[in-house]
A and B are shown apart, each in its own frame.
Chain A
Amino acid sequence: MTLLRIILIRLLTTAITLFGVAIIVFVVIRVVPGNPIAMMLPPGATDADIARLQAQYGFDKSIFQQFVIWLGNVTQGDFGTSISLRQPVSDLVLGRLPATLELSIIALTIAVIIGGTMALLGTRFRDTKGEAAVDVSAGMALSIPDFLWGLVLILLFGVFWPIFHISGRVSPSINIDFTTNFFLFEALMRLRFDVIADLIGHMFMPALALAIPLAAIIAQLLKQSLKETMHLDYVTLARTKGYGENHVIAREALPNAILPTLTLVGVQFTFLIGGTVIIERLFSYEGLGNMAIDAVINRDLPLIQGIVILFALLFTIVNLVVDMLYVVLNPKLRHA
């Protein structure tokens, strides 16, 4: 299968997935009790006021009618207007997306570096206390969820040894006018190292909290996969050629052992993006997840829909990227 065909098929399934997600979200948030309009109006509002406003937002129609209207607008790029923030949903959501993307990518990078290093060390010192240490620390890291790691980190690096910022995305004292919402990327491009330091100072703890469980999973799976690969004939053959242990692990075993890990990292990365919802809240980080919680609290139906659809889109994109990487890294799939 060529790469082009894979992408085409994937686009089709993505569209179907998003449609399914849209239906579920649309119906569920309308079926559960709670009236967003009643929450907008002051306590003294009359029934007539409520009815007028409901008609204005289209909530007086049936769920099916609402869905058709909403879908029609969505196909033209209009995701509606947020009830609580009174701004177009697409502006709000796309404005917050870069913050979450940057946080997720930093977290993924940290997870890959920590997890990969642990896996390599565990393999290098396999069947010794070194490997046992890797196993134990991975087990510990995995048995504590990301938001608890967040609290632990806040205690460590925010209270006892306050070297990182515990809340927000950027310090108000930082003097820079961003033209995009990709603050970190833009700061990197403009070589504003003071801004980079400030952004990293804010991002480090939430990213680490998200990264630790994923790092543990990577460490365990990659180490297992490496250890199995180390028994294979081509690895033994490389040893007879005079290559040492480090070279054999890094150059012979790793490129092959990484494949099963890659699939799992893809799946886990989507969980990590899901984890941003709570972590962003914990660190008052102005991203999509934080906005999602506000939207749910305010029963801001159009905003919830927009955010969920965007998350769903992100997940499918991540899976697509993983599948393509898999094809690139595995020569057996490349020409087939």
Chain B
Amino acid sequence: MNGYLSIRNLTVRLKGGGTILRDVSLNVAAGQVHGLMGESGAGKSMIGKAVLGTLPRALDITSGQIWLDGVDLQTLPPAERRNRIGALAALIPQDPLTALNPSRRIGPQITRRLVDILGWKRQDAAKRALELLNEVHIPDAPRVMRSYPHELSGGMRQRILIASAFAAEPKLIIADEPTTALDVTVQKQILHLISEMQARHDTALLFVTHDLGVMSKVCDTLSVLYAGKVVEEANMPRFFMRPIHPYSAALLAATPTYTDPTSSLTPVPQTVVDQVEREVMEHDLRTAS
């Protein structure tokens, strides 16, 4: 139960309003890839944001703990928490087109944290950035270092963001739907690259996606989320063979197959949706009383 990242009974609420995450618990073991699966609006991204301390201001963590490398982040003062997250974890964002600062060259965007926060020498940081860009298979890395984001393609920018995420040798990477904003042809390469980098650097990876196909390729374990509640936590082989929760089973059934062109899409049956909705409601009633 003690992962490198261990979230326990995390509840996040809108200030003066609805509940976004309901009693979420999950574990990401060191060096393992944990998938976070759910429909749009299920709260997948919010878990990542809660860990990294970038929840929108309108949201509050009302209860629960977030243990990172054996320390409960919630108990730390803000500056210390920020430093700890910055040193141990990193984010691969969803949209590479908006995640790089448009008015700054690529090089500094990778090296600055090394210099500013970790106290590296400028030359060492630049050397490291070049190495990383080579690792993510970017040709002509020195030129790219001098480029501005708008001069590069989406795929290139995502590679840069991946390189940047691994720059400080974090022990946990949170990838928030890292391929959603990309071209289908590029998606596969990026996915492959993330797996490759994760294995080489032996980091734990929390992989947020709504794409079961993607998940089956990269993850060791997964959590299925519905309306901010974890409905199933499983390891991958077991999940694909014997999903326990009907919602999980329905999701698996809904995954389109490309081998049979005559097959039609299977929606998640209403009875299953009703069942998860009921569970969420029961949970809310239980916690309210």
- Give the interface of A toward B (CB within 8 A): 127, 232-234, 236-244, 247, 252, 255-256, 329-332, 335
Are B103 and A237 in contact, with the CB atoms below 8 A?
Answer: no
Which residue from chain B places its CB closest to the CB of A257 in the assembled complex? B103
Are A256 and B101 in contact, with the CB atoms below 8 A?
Answer: yes
Known: A127-B57, A233-B93. A244 touches B82 (CB 8 A): yes
Partner of B85, one of A236, A242, A252, A329: A242
Interchain CA distance A244-B85 in the complex, whole Å = 12
Are A234 and B98 in contact, with the CB atoms below 8 A?
Answer: yes
B261 to chain A, nearest CB (A): 38
B179 to chain A, nearest CB (A): 15
Are A256 and B113 in contact, with the CB atoms below 8 A?
Answer: no
Are A234 and B85 in contact, with the CB atoms below 8 A?
Answer: no
Partner of B54, one of A236, A256, A332: A236
B230 to chain A, nearest CB (A): 23
Q: Chain B 67-94, CB within 8 Å of chain A: the 1/0 string?
A: 0000000000001001101110111011
Are B83 and A237 in contact, with the CB atoms below 8 A?
Answer: no
B86 to chain A, nearest CB (A): 2
Quick check: is B183 within 8 A (CB to CB) of the other chain? no
Interchain CA distance A255-B100 in the complex, whole Å = 13
Which residue from chain A places its CB closest to the CB of B78 in the assembled complex? A244
Are B82 and A234 in contact, with the CB atoms below 8 A?
Answer: no
Interchain CA distance A122-B194 in the complex, whole Å = 40
Interchain CA distance A21-B85 in the complex, whole Å = 61
Partner of B86, one of A242, A252, A329, A332: A242
Known: A127-B57, A233-B95. A240 touches B85 (CB 8 A): yes
A28 to chain B, nearest CB (A): 45
Interchain CA distance A329-B99 in the complex, whole Å = 19
Quick check: is B116 within 8 A (CB to CB) of the other chain? yes
Among B83, B98, B103, chain A packs the most CB atoms within 10 A around the CB of B103
- Give the interface of B toward A (CB within 8 A): 52-54, 57, 79, 82-83, 85-87, 89-91, 93-95, 98-104, 113, 116-117, 148, 150-151, 161, 168
Are A237 and B53 in contact, with the CB atoms below 8 A?
Answer: no
Interchain CA distance A329-B103 in the complex, whole Å = 8
* Residues in B whose Cβ lies below 8 Å from that of A237: 91, 93, 99, 161
Are A244 and B104 in contact, with the CB atoms below 8 A?
Answer: no
Are B98 and A233 in contact, with the CB atoms below 8 A?
Answer: yes
A138 to chain B, nearest CB (A): 22
Known: A237-B93, A252-B101. A242 touches B150 (CB 8 A): no
Are A241 and B99 in contact, with the CB atoms below 8 A?
Answer: no
Which residue from chain A places its CB closest to the CB of B148 in the assembled complex? A331
Are B103 and A242 in contact, with the CB atoms below 8 A?
Answer: no
Are A331 and B117 in contact, with the CB atoms below 8 A?
Answer: no
Interchain CA distance A330-B148 in the complex, whole Å = 10
Interchain CA distance A252-B82 in the complex, whole Å = 17
* Residues in B whose Cβ lies below 8 Å from that of A232: 98
Are B86 and A241 in contact, with the CB atoms below 8 A?
Answer: yes
Known: A233-B93, A331-B102, A331-B150. A240 touches B54 (CB 8 A): yes
Interchain CA distance A332-B116 in the complex, whole Å = 26
Interchain CA distance A11-B90 in the complex, whole Å = 50
Interchain CA distance A150-B95 in the complex, whole Å = 51
* Residues in A whose Cβ lies below 8 Å from that of B53: 239-240
Are A234 and B99 in contact, with the CB atoms below 8 A?
Answer: yes
Are A241 and B57 in contact, with the CB atoms below 8 A?
Answer: no
Are B102 and A256 in contact, with the CB atoms below 8 A?
Answer: yes
Are A332 and B102 in contact, with the CB atoms below 8 A?
Answer: yes
Interchain CA distance A330-B104 in the complex, whole Å = 10
* Residues in A whose Cβ lies below 8 Å from that of B87: 242
Are A332 and B148 in contact, with the CB atoms below 8 A?
Answer: yes
B176 to chain A, nearest CB (A): 10
B160 to chain A, nearest CB (A): 12
A275 to chain B, nearest CB (A): 32
| 20 A-B pairs (CB sep. < 8 Å) | A233-B94, A233-B95, A233-B99, A234-B100, A234-B102, A236-B91, A239-B52, A240-B53, A240-B54, A240-B91, A241-B113, A242-B83, A242-B85, A242-B117, A243-B82, A243-B117, A244-B79, A252-B101, A256-B102, A332-B148
Query: Nearest 3 CB-CB pairs, A to B?
Result: A242-B86, A233-B99, A241-B113
B209 to chain A, nearest CB (A): 17
Are B54 and A242 in contact, with the CB atoms below 8 A?
Answer: no
Interchain CA distance A236-B100 in the complex, whole Å = 10
Q: A233-B95, A236-B54 are in contact. List 9 more A-B contacts (CB 8 A).
A: A234-B98, A234-B100, A234-B102, A240-B91, A242-B86, A243-B113, A256-B102, A330-B103, A331-B102
